[in-house]
Structure 1
Amino acid sequence: MSSLEDEAVEQNTVEGLTSSPSSDTDTSTGAIITITIGATVPTGFEHTAAEEVKEKIGSDARISKDRGRIYFPITTDKLFQVHLLCSVDNLFVVVAEFDCYQFKESKEETLKELQELASTLPWTNALEVWRLNRTLKKKKGHRKVGNTTRAKSKAAPSDVAASAEAAPHKLPQETSLADSDTKSVVTPDSETCQQDLEETANDAKVIKFRVTCNRAGDKHSFSSNEAARDFGGAVQEFFQWKADMTKFDIEVLLNIHNEEVVIGIALTEESLHRRNISHFGPTTLRSTLCYGMLRLCKPQESDIILDPMCGTGAIPLEGAIEFGESFYIAGDNNDMAVSRTVNNICHIQKRRAEKGSPSGLPIDTVQWDLSNLPVRTSSVDIIVTDMPFGKRMGSRKKNWDLYPSCLREMARVCRPGSGKAVILTQDKKCFTKAISRMGGLWRKLHTVWVNVGGLHAGVYLLKRTAAMFGQTPEDIYESRGRSDAHMNETDDKESSELQPNV
């Protein structure tokens, strides 16, 4: 590791640009240092994620120019806390970042510059954070000892993701990261500490890595594959690591968004959004997106929160875990969906029981008819749901009848004047038309545009107005229409009965 410390510098200049290192203090003394953590979040919920970071960690997060990413400083003694954030998908420690990187016009010059950049970056502190993060995950039992097959790491959303190409035929001698003995912030007993050091030393004998490039922008002369290949080759030559696309220990991230360049090292092997769901359906929402939707409506103690189209129960399950002071009702008209929801709840309860925590969750599951909910009028405080987009579930044609029926039934059960609803849908035209037909029962307060599986969707925050259900002009008009139709039908029936048989 001494070679890293000799080569690494705190600030580097590339073509007149100054990079920001990942920390401001060297780790060779074992002191607590300050680093910059990057996190990918559901697109559109960057501000929600920044609020959570401020609330739980006390750091001010900066939202990236590239949508779906935030950056915030922390000290290494709080590293474990970043894995407890509910609104982030993937985490990485920043090695260096350039706000306005001037790429060369020709591809060859740009790729050569990226190769030269790899050997001048301040890698030392970021690698020490990677080691500390690895140790923390081992203590929690998230990873097995040894070089086992790992789940393929999911990189941040981008136009293209690519990995570094294979190593030369003759693999160089690997450098051990265990040469530098850094004091861990966590202070277990000496036996456990010694065991962790031995495991780390064994794992570090052969360091395997890959480079993932996430690029966005149309003014680049190179592709993501080319950038990952050339930058990865330079990283391999500098550290003498072994390239491995699947069983890697370290994933180096090269994030390029127009003129913004961020180099980092991944801290998560699998996206954190899979934390609660074990039984997936065709349209299961990410837990991170569910958390963002729930934060929009700000659940309060003793609130009754309803998801009338729960699917696999991702929304009410996330709420019951993170906002446990409220009570959740999960319902669906599909028996398979209800079964998946029950299984997911049982999975969480079993996991809690194994950890010795109270296994109960404030949630109940019901199978019902969406247009005729078995719920008292004006008894629900908040409704949070994911409505059918009309693609994988239902159809756009059916939505024109489904949406108005759903919104009216939701208005009936929601408390007038204080009730709220957070609704996710990609069928924006149908939803807007349905809201306009509600007779003032709902009022749109805010819209968050999100990316759901590549689809541009909207998360709508609605306020239930004080208008009483069944007394709006539209209700009276529809009621009269139904009465007139019934009277005409009765008159026709009586007239037919009076006609003589011929």
Structure 2
Amino acid sequence: MSSQAEEAAEQGSNTEGPSSSSSTDNGATTSGDIITVTIGATVPTGFEHTAAEEVKEKIGVETRISKDRGRIYFPITTDKLYQAHLLRSVDNLFVVVEEYDHYQFKESKEETLMELHELASKLPWTKALEVWKLNRSLKKKKGHRKGGNGSKSKLENVATDSPVPNTEQQELPEAPAPGGQTNSESTPDMESSMQESGDTAPEAKVIKFRVTCNRAGDKHSFSSNEAARDFGGAVQEFFQWKADMTKFDIEVLLNIHNEEVVIGIALTEESLHRRNISHFGPTTLRSTLCYGMLRLCKPQVSDIILDPMCGTGAIPLEGAIEFNSSFYIAGDNYDMAVNRTVNNICHIQKRRAEKGGASGLPIDTVRWDLCNLPMRTSSVDIIITDMPFGKRMGSRKKNWDLYPSCLREMARVCRPGSGKAVLLTQDKKCFSKAISRMGGLWRKLHTVWVNVGGLHAGVYLLKRTGAVFGETPEDIYESRGLTNTQADEKDDKELS
């Protein structure tokens, strides 16, 4: 565990849980001062099982994967709440208020919206609000040590994940900024807690909130905005809170996926994937997606791991922090990309030094020609990189020349028989054809389909075979009795 994680664990273990209650809402159970609740988490689509494995490994509980891609649910006790914020595969966290597997929506929009309006006053809010309050107290400790941490404005009704500079690796849980007081009977001790926080003016007596609706499915008679408006109005009436779309204290989530409905309260103010990068590029990967790609190749002690198209260094940085028994080499053929990577490494090292921890990272950065790497043959154990999609960087036309060239160079430096590669690309046709031209140097083991900025992309796990490097594609085709044209026709038929 990193020094930041150890610091969080120490603070989390010293934090008292909320008072117990005789009732059990949303399946929540109490034992002394410990409450057990269900936590929901958003994760990179395609890596739900990876996130479930991490939860089992680090928290020791079983995880349920939602029908709605990109979400998982797991039980947790409040004394371990801080551990959920230390998960590397999780983007956002929320505590579940209530969930319905088969919610029967009315046929007309008016009836459905009226039902959602009435639902707010029937929900078991108590345990979820206690967990939100505990989560906020963890953030308060962090803010006190750092001199406070202001609330970040959110401008959209539906949450988005655009990059934000000056980010921080999560050492402690992040939560909505402390607000005012509540008049709700379901949380009688909230008022004293608000006064004790000392983070707001005494005259601010009303909690500010917003409702975010995330809806998927084509059989709904209502829109996301309509559901958020009507449900939010009912929440406002029930709690006497004040609606505020930007400077809110509590974010209530209404997640609807076909007939699955989950109501929750957000525990993260901004996505946990914004933790390593301070200098962003046009195609910077989420740290959570980088973690999923790294887990896919299972780094071992003393492995040499190469990212030949590092961009901002998101992949090797995540690896150097979480899998620090391996050594990482990050390179790119653009000066600006190399400079960003160096700046991001320096940012992490400086932050660690300020906290009194070890500042060194097992990572080095080089500027090179990715089709002519200055590395010995068979010297790398794992290659992991984000290849150009041909959208924001490069072009599809350039990929037809780039992909075969860089795949052959990757095969040269990768150890035959044991080496692996994890490659991300949205240009699936070009990638598949390039692999077929490698003369058996690479073999596909597994593919994970992910959503990257709205694009459907593939994360390909390849194994470096024991095939002899040096044979050209023409040699392979000739040995099979095929001309280049016949090989092209064969590849096109396989791809179709």
Q: Is this contact kept in 2: 1:285–1:314, CA < 8 A?
A: yes
1:148 CA displacement:
4.8
Pair 33,361 (structure 1): closer, same or farther in 2 beyond 3 Å = same
Residue in 2 that maps onto 1:496? none
Distance 2:144 2:222 in 1: 37
Query: 1:451-470 counterparts in 2 under 5 A?
Result: 451-470=451-470
Residue in 2 that maps onto 1:339? 339
**Residue deviations 1:258-294, cap 9 Å, x none?**
0000000000011111100000000000000000000
Distance 1:196 1:414 in 2: 59
**Residue deviations 1:446-485, cap 9 Å, x none?**
000000000000000000001121157755779xxxxxxx
1:175 maps onto 2:183 in alignment: yes
Distance 1:146 1:322 in 2: 27
**Residue deviations 1:28-49, cap 9 Å, x none?**
xx61010100000001100000
Residue in 1 that maps onto 2:166? none
Residue in 2 that maps onto 1:274? 274
Aligned-partner residue type, residue 25 of structure 1 = T
Pair 113,194 (structure 1): closer, same or farther in 2 beyond 3 Å = closer
Percent of counterpart pairs with the same letter?
Answer: 84
Distance 2:304 2:399 in 1: 27
Query: 1:277-316 counterparts in 2 under 5 A?
Result: 277-316=277-316
Query: 1:42-57 counterparts in 2 under 5 A?
Result: 42-57=44-59
Q: Is this contact kept in 1: 2:50–2:295, CA < 8 A?
A: yes
1:117 maps onto 2:116 in alignment: no
Distance 1:438 1:144 in 2: 53
Pair 32,465 (structure 1): closer, same or farther in 2 beyond 3 Å = same
Residues matched between the structures, number:
440
Structure 1 unaligned regions, length at least 5: 12-20, 159-172, 184-192, 479-502
Query: 1:214-233 counterparts in 2 under 5 A?
Result: 214-233=214-233
Structure 2 unaligned regions, length at least 5: 1-18, 162-180, 479-496
1:197 CA displacement:
5.0
Distance 2:386 2:443 in 1: 18
Residue in 1 that maps onto 2:30? 25
Pair 195,363 (structure 1): closer, same or farther in 2 beyond 3 Å = farther
SS in 2 for 1:274: coil
Distance 1:114 1:79 in 2: 30
Q: Is this contact kept in 2: 1:40–1:88, CA < 8 A?
A: yes
SS in 2 for 1:232: helix
Q: Is this contact kept in 1: 2:155–2:245, CA < 8 A?
A: no
Q: Which stretch of the first structure deviates more once superposed, 220-229 or 198-207? A: 198-207
**Residue deviations 1:4-28, cap 9 Å, x none?**
x9xx9756xxxxxxxxx151239xx
Q: Is this contact kept in 2: 1:174–1:242, CA < 8 A?
A: no
1:354 CA displacement:
1.1
Q: Is this contact kept in 1: 2:305–2:328, CA < 8 A?
A: yes
Q: Is this contact kept in 2: 1:59–1:73, CA < 8 A?
A: yes
Distance 2:191 2:419 in 1: 53
Distance 1:355 1:304 in 2: 28
Could you tell me which of 95, 98, 114 is aligned with 1:96?
Answer: 98
Residue in 2 that maps onto 1:391? 391
Residue in 2 that maps onto 1:136? 138
Residue in 2 that maps onto 1:486? none
**Residue deviations 1:212-267, cap 9 Å, x none?**
00000000011111100110000000000011000000000000000000000000
Specify the structure having the higher radius of gyration (Cα).
1
Q: Is this contact kept in 1: 2:368–2:374, CA < 8 A?
A: yes
Pair 197,245 (structure 1): closer, same or farther in 2 beyond 3 Å = closer
Distance 2:468 2:140 in 1: 57
Distance 2:54 2:265 in 1: 23
1:149 CA displacement:
4.3
Residue in 2 that maps onto 1:439? 439
Q: Is this contact kept in 1: 2:182–2:190, CA < 8 A?
A: no
Pair 231,9 (structure 1): closer, same or farther in 2 beyond 3 Å = farther
1:112 CA displacement:
0.8
Q: Which stretch of the first structure deviates more once superposed, 332-341 or 139-148? A: 139-148
Aligned-partner residue type, residue 410 of structure 1 = M
Pair 115,32 (structure 1): closer, same or farther in 2 beyond 3 Å = same
Aligned-partner residue type, residue 263 of structure 1 = I
Pair 237,226 (structure 1): closer, same or farther in 2 beyond 3 Å = same
**Residue deviations 1:81-136, cap 9 Å, x none?**
11100001000000000000000001111111111110010100100100000110
SS in 1 for 2:105: coil
Distance 2:76 2:155 in 1: 23
Distance 1:303 1:55 in 2: 22
Residue in 2 that maps onto 1:365? 365
Q: Over the residues paired in the alignment, what is the CA RMSD in angstroms?
A: 3.0
Residue in 2 that maps onto 1:330? 330
Distance 1:210 1:194 in 2: 18
Pair 351,326 (structure 1): closer, same or farther in 2 beyond 3 Å = same
Q: Is this contact kept in 1: 2:208–2:250, CA < 8 A?
A: yes
Q: Is this contact kept in 1: 2:159–2:212, CA < 8 A?
A: no
Distance 2:115 2:203 in 1: 32
SS in 1 for 2:34: coil
1:402 maps onto 2:374 in alignment: no
Aligned-partner residue type, residue 341 of structure 1 = T
SS in 2 for 1:33: strand
Distance 2:259 2:291 in 1: 31
SS in 1 for 2:113: helix
Pair 321,81 (structure 1): closer, same or farther in 2 beyond 3 Å = same
Aligned-partner residue type, residue 180 of structure 1 = D
Distance 2:65 2:258 in 1: 16
